Structure 1
Amino acid sequence: MREGIHPPYGPVVFRDRAAHHAFLTRSTLAALSGGRTVEWEDGNVYPVVDVEISNVSHPFYTGTARVLDAAGRVERFERRFGKRS
């Protein structure tokens, strides 16, 4: 790797604002934290990046996604456009 062209890679806390959940991982986004830091459970201070959605609050992972009724959609289509003979 060439020196001086890559962003710094280190520990960063990602905080989900919707679910009030945070997790510590490694990322190059430390520079985008805007100087904001948070004291983590281990007593160390890490840069924090606030995110709007994560695996804790995303509908796909939480099981709150809506399930569409396919039969109702077909019947509505047939009412509007008629059945094929």
Structure 2
Amino acid sequence: MKKGIHPEYREVVFHDVSCGEEILTKSTIKTDLTTTFEGKEYPMVKLDISSASHPFYTGKQKVLDTEGRIEKFKKKFGNSYAALKKK
């Protein structure tokens, strides 16, 4: 392999912020964050969802949206869309 053209392959901690799970694996991803995992410091990447919190793997449905779809639509478009439909 040519030197200087490949990204650095290193151990990285992926932190799932929705459940607090941390996974140590190897990656070439670039990050400025660091964390201590099992007494050693590693680069860290924050994730919104992982296999530890995904409904498919956990079997639990988690509702993140507290506002309903109709309310969201009305908030975004108001009555203007309904008025156009009546004409």
- Unaligned runs of at least 5 residues, structure 1: 66-85
Aligned length: 61
The TM-score normalised by the length of structure 2 is 0.65
What is the alpha-carbon distance in structure 2 between the residues aligned to residue 54 and residue 28 of structure 1? 18
Give the secondary-structure state (helix, strand or coil) at the position aligned to 1:45: strand
The TM-score normalised by the length of structure 1 is 0.67
Listed as ranges, the matches of 1:1-85 within 5 Å are 1-29=1-29, 31=30, 33=31, 35-41=32-38, 43-64=39-60
Give the secondary-structure state (helix, strand or coil) at the position aligned to 1:60: helix
Aligned residue identity for 2:37: W
Identical amino acids, percent of aligned pairs: 48
- Unaligned runs of at least 5 residues, structure 2: 62-87
Flag the structure with larger Rg: 1
What RMSD in Å do the two structures reach over aligned CA positions?
A: 1.1
Give the secondary-structure state (helix, strand or coil) at the position aligned to 2:44: strand
